[in-house]
Amino acid sequence: MELFELKADIRDTRGKNAARVLRSEGIVPAVVYGNNTEAASITVAVADVEEAFKQSETTQVVVNLKLGDAAPAVAMIKDVQTDPVRGEIRHVDFQLVALDKKIKAITPVYTTGKAKGVEMGGILQVIRRQLEVLCLPLEIPTSITLDVSDLKIGNSIHVAEIEVEGVEIPHDVNFTVVTCVPPKGVSVGDEEDDEEAAE
């Protein structure tokens, strides 16, 4: 997985006025921290941040952050603050990460196949559209796809049943990720009686 190189510069100025001037030039203030290093105030080009998101294969963006003349360091875009009206990027948080240490990341959940319960009139509900995963920075899955073909009405897929190679899905409670529910006004028991009658 090739990482996008995002260039940054040390930020010497502070305050709202300084930030306003930077933004007028297509640059935004940012901060980088992690790996037992002191947090540093930096600046990055808005266009570079947007390009990093475009090129990233995952929703959790990991980049090679090149600060001045120093060698690039692997960093994750931890947070992006945007203008609530215009949607423009106003500030970015970068967290330095080690390639040999697992990190927490967010991965979208998708389904494949048509559930048996849906064919019988049921409704497929995706309860969790994202899952937190624990993995190495370069092994963040682009998505987690669940085959729902065998789900009947009343059946569910719980987080403990999901296995992704090289990835842990931390959880304290075995919560439901996907379920197939009966149509409105019909209980699971009614559906089971209909099945038995059909047989």
Q: List residues bridging with 108 in a β-sheet.
A: 130
Within 10 A of 12 (CB to CB), how many other CB atoms are there?
A: 8
Domains, the chain, in order of start with CATH, read 4-96 (2.40.240.10), 103-198 (2.170.120.20)
Q: Give the pairing type, strands 103-112 and 144-147.
A: parallel
Residue recorded with tokens 């987690």 = 144
Q: What is the pTM of this model?
A: 0.77
Task: Encode pLDDT of 127-159 as tens digits.
Answer: 999 999 999 999 999 999 999 999 999 999 999
* 49's tokens: 């941040």
pLDDT of residue 22: 83
Least confident window among 5-9, 48-52, 191-195: 191-195
Task: Encode pLDDT of 18-43 as tens digits.
Answer: 778 888 889 999 999 998 888 999 99
* Buried b / exposed e along 147-180 (16+ C-beta atoms within 10 A): ebeebbbbbebebeebebeebebeeeeeeebbbb
String of DSSP letters for 167-185: BB---SS--EEEEEEPPTT
Phi (first) and psi of residue 159, to 5 degrees = -60, -35
β strands within the chain, DSSP E: 4-10, 27-34, 37-45, 62-67, 73-82, 89-96, 103-112, 123-126, 130-135, 144-147, 156-158, 176-181
Collapse the DSSP code of 42 into the 3-class scheme (helix H, G, I; strand E, B; otherwise coil) and give the result.
Answer: strand
Within 10 A of 99 (CB to CB), how many other CB atoms are there?
A: 11
Q: List residues bridging with 145 in a β-sheet.
A: 110
Could you give the C-alpha distances from 78 to 17, 33, 61, in angstroms and in order? 25, 10, 8
